[in-house]
Amino acid sequence: MRAIWGALLIAALGFGEARAQVGSTSFEGWSAVCDDVGECSTWAYTGGWAAPSYILLRRQPSGRWSAHFGVTGARGEEPGEIEIKLIGTDGRPAWTRRLYGKSDDRHMREAGIDSAQDLMALREAMASGKTAEVVTDGRIEPWRTIPLAGAASALHWIDAHGPDSRRAVIWRAPAVSQANLPKAPPAASPDCAQVSLYRLSPGKVLSVRWCSDDDHAAGAYTDISLLDERGRRLPGPTMEGYSEEFTPVLANVDYDPKTRGLSAFQPGEYRLGSCGADMTWVWDGAEFRLARLTEMLDCVSMSRTLWPSHRNVRVIDAKPLRNARRK
C-alpha cells in the first residue's frame, strides 16, 4: 500500500547540517514524522487499498494537537454510521467516538477532533490501549482493527522533538522581467506540446513543457529544461532533492514568477489522490531549493490537506546587487 517512488524521493533528499530536518521513524505499525519547524504527525491504517481506514494525530508548531479519522465503505460502498472504539488491555472500550464527517467521491468518510479535553482522553486511551476498532452499521470488521502497540512510542517520539532552532533558510532570487522571452525550441517528443517559458535570472530561462503519457499515474508528466536568452538548451536546472534516477518524471508542475516558486504534485501508484507528494522549490539564483514537502507514502485515500509535512523552510528575499564593484 506504499507508493514505490515515495521512499526513493525521501532517499534523494540529502539535507546537510545547515538544512536541518528532524526526520521520520516507525513503531510497530505507527509512522511518525516531524519537519524542521516542529509540525509532526503520526498515523496507522488498516483495511487494504480497496477499503482503508486510518487514524492520524498531528501537532502544529504552536503545540496544538488534532486527531483525524478516515473510513471507507467495504467494497467501495459508502459507509453508514461510523464509530471508533479504542479497546484497553482489559478488553473494555477506553475511548469511543462516532464520526459524522463528509464523504467524498472516493467513498472516504473523514472527521476530526481538536478539543483539548477530548484529545487528552484519546492520547491516554492510545497509550494504554490494545486496539482501535472501526464499527460500521453495528459490525466490527476484522480487517478494520488497528493495533495500538506502537502509538505510545510514536507520541513520545513526537513529544521529544520540538521546533528546530537550525531551521534552514532559502534566499530567494530577485524578481526579473518576463519581457522578450526567447522562442522555445521544438519538443523532443511528439507527446510534448504545450510549453511555457519563464525567465529565472538574466541568461537563464525555464522551459516547462506538458506531455501526455497514458502509462503515467496522472496521465501526463512535465518536461523541465533550462535555456539561454537565445533559446538554446543549457544544463539543468538543478533541483534540490530531485533526481531523475529516483523519480524519472514530475507531474502537475507550475512556476510562479512572483514567488519564484516551482510546484509539483506527484501522484502515487494507486488511485489519483490516494497518496503522493506536494513539493515546492524556490529559485535562489543558481538552483531550485526545496522549500516545502508534504507527502503521504501510504495509499489510504487520505486528503492531501492532511498529508504529513517533511520540509518547511523559511524563505527570505535576497536584495539585488546594485553598482557592485568588480574585483
Q: Which residues pair with 57 in a beta bridge?
A: 42, 67
Question: Edge-to-edge, what's the strand order for the sheet holding 204-212?
Answer: 192-201, 204-212, 220-227, 233-234
Polymer length in residues for the chain: 327
Between 102 and 307, where is the model more confident?
307
Per-residue confidence (pLDDT) for residue 61, from 0 to 100? 87
274: left (phi over 0), alpha (psi -120 to 50) or beta: alpha
- Return d(Cα 72, Cα 79) in angstroms, integer: 6
pLDDT-based confidence at residue 15 (cuts at 50, 70, 90): very low
- Return d(Cα 221, Cα 118) in angstroms, integer: 44
Is the model's pLDDT at 274 over the cut of 90?
A: no
Between 64 and 244, where is the model more confident?
64
Per-residue confidence (pLDDT) for residue 272, from 0 to 100? 52
Nearest to 288, CA basis, from 319, 243, 327: 243
Provide the mean pLDDT of the chain.
80
What's the mean pLDDT in 178-198? 86
Burial class of residue 196, CB neighbours in 10 A (0-12, 13-18, 19+):
middle
The CA–CA distances, whole Å, from 191 to 14, 35, 77, 194, 213 equal 33, 38, 37, 10, 7
| Residue 276 in grid coordinates | 503522493
- Return d(Cα 195, Cα 183) in angstroms, integer: 10
Question: Edge-to-edge, what's the strand order for the sheet holding 108-113?
Answer: 23-27, 30-34, 40-46, 53-59, 65-72, 108-113, 102-103
Query: Cα torsion for 27, 52, 161, 11, to the nearest 10°?
Result: 80
Helix 116-128 × helix 151-159 angle, to 10°: 130
The CA–CA distances, whole Å, from 128 to 144, 149, 150 equal 19, 9, 11
The CA–CA distances, whole Å, from 312 to 58, 190, 278 equal 15, 37, 12
What's the mean pLDDT in 38-44? 94
Is the model's pLDDT at 327 over the cut of 80?
A: no
- Asked whether 291 and 261 are in contact (CB, 8 A), the reply is yes
pLDDT-based confidence at residue 162 (cuts at 50, 70, 90): confident
pTM, two decimal places: 0.83
Q: Tell me: the pLDDT tens digits for 86-100? A: 999 888 989 988 876
Q: Which fold has domain 24-163?
A: Immunoglobulin-like (2.60.40)
The CA–CA distances, whole Å, from 59 to 16, 119, 139, 313 equal 25, 11, 32, 18
Q: Tell me: the pLDDT tens digits for 106-153? A: 567 777 888 888 899 999 999 888 999 877 655 656 557 899 999 999
Domain with CATH 2.60.40.1880 in the chain: 24-163
- Return d(Cα 296, Cα 271) in angstroms, integer: 13
What's the mean pLDDT in 18-43? 83
